[in-house]
Amino acid sequence: MKGTIVFQNEEVVIVRDTEGARFQFPRTDVEQVLGDDAVVSNEGVSELANEREEIKTPKRVTALLEVAFGAAYMPGEKIGLSGSADLLIGSHHIRDRHLFIGGGLGYHALILSETYNFLPVQVALRMPLTEQKHAPVFGVSLGYGVALSKNYVGGLYTGLDLGYRCQINPKTAIGAVFFARFQQAKVDATEVIEDVEFTHRIGRNFITYGAKLTLYF
C-alpha cells in the first residue's frame, strides 16, 4: 500500500493514501514499512521524516443506514414490490476489523394484493471478507417483524446479504448489496361454511429480494 505514514508506534500504523483516506493497521499485521529515510520492520520502530498529524481514535459506535428496493412474494399471491429502510446502531471496529455488530429498527412495506407493513426489531452482522478499501461483504439479520395493522400479526424475520463495500475512511463506508429476506406472519382469512362466514388467521410466509444501498457513519 502506498501512502503517507501519519502515525505509528509499537501497536499500530496509520496510513493516509493518495486519495486522502486513512487506514489503521495492527502492528503485527505489517511486515515492513518503506520510507524515504528509513526501513522499518516489526523488529523495531524508528522515526520517519514524514508529516505528523493528530489522529483521533476511530469511533467505536457506528450507525448503519440501509435503503432497499425489490420484489415481494407470498404463496398464492402475485409478485409485488417491496421497499424498506433500516437504521442500526452498533460497533464498527472489533479487534481492529471493520466488523459491524448491532441492532435496531426498520420499516418494510410489501405491496402485494394488499399492502403489508412490518417494523422489524433485529440484530445484525455485517462482515467484510477482507480488510482492503474495496471488499466483498456478507451480512445476516435476525429478529421479529412487528405488524403495523390489526388485520395481521407479525413473526420471525431473517435476512441474508451479499455485496460490495468501500471503506472511505476509518469512520465511514458505503456499499451496494443484494439481499433476500423471510418474514412470517398470520393474516385474516374468511371461509364460508353452510352460508356462514368465518374469519380466522392463517400463517403466511413473505419472501422479498432485491438490492440496497448502505451507509456506515
Model confidence pLDDT, tens digit, residues 92-129:
877 667 889 999 999 999 998 889 999 999 999 999 99
Q: Is the pLDDT of residue 41 over 80?
A: no
Q: Provide the pLDDT confidence category of residue 23 given band limits of 50, 70 and 90.
A: confident
| Topology given in CATH for the domain delimited by 61-216 | Porin (2.40.160)
Cα 210 to Cα 212: distance, rounded to the nearest angstrom: 7
Cα 187 to Cα 1: distance, rounded to the nearest angstrom: 55
Cα 179 to Cα 182: distance, rounded to the nearest angstrom: 10
Question: Which of 69-83, 92-106, 182-196, 202-216 shows the highest mean pLDDT?
Answer: 202-216
Instruction: Spell out the domain ranges in the chain.
Output: 1-55, 61-216
- 187 burial class (0-12, 13-18, 19+ CB within 10 angstroms)? middle
- 88 burial class (0-12, 13-18, 19+ CB within 10 angstroms)? buried
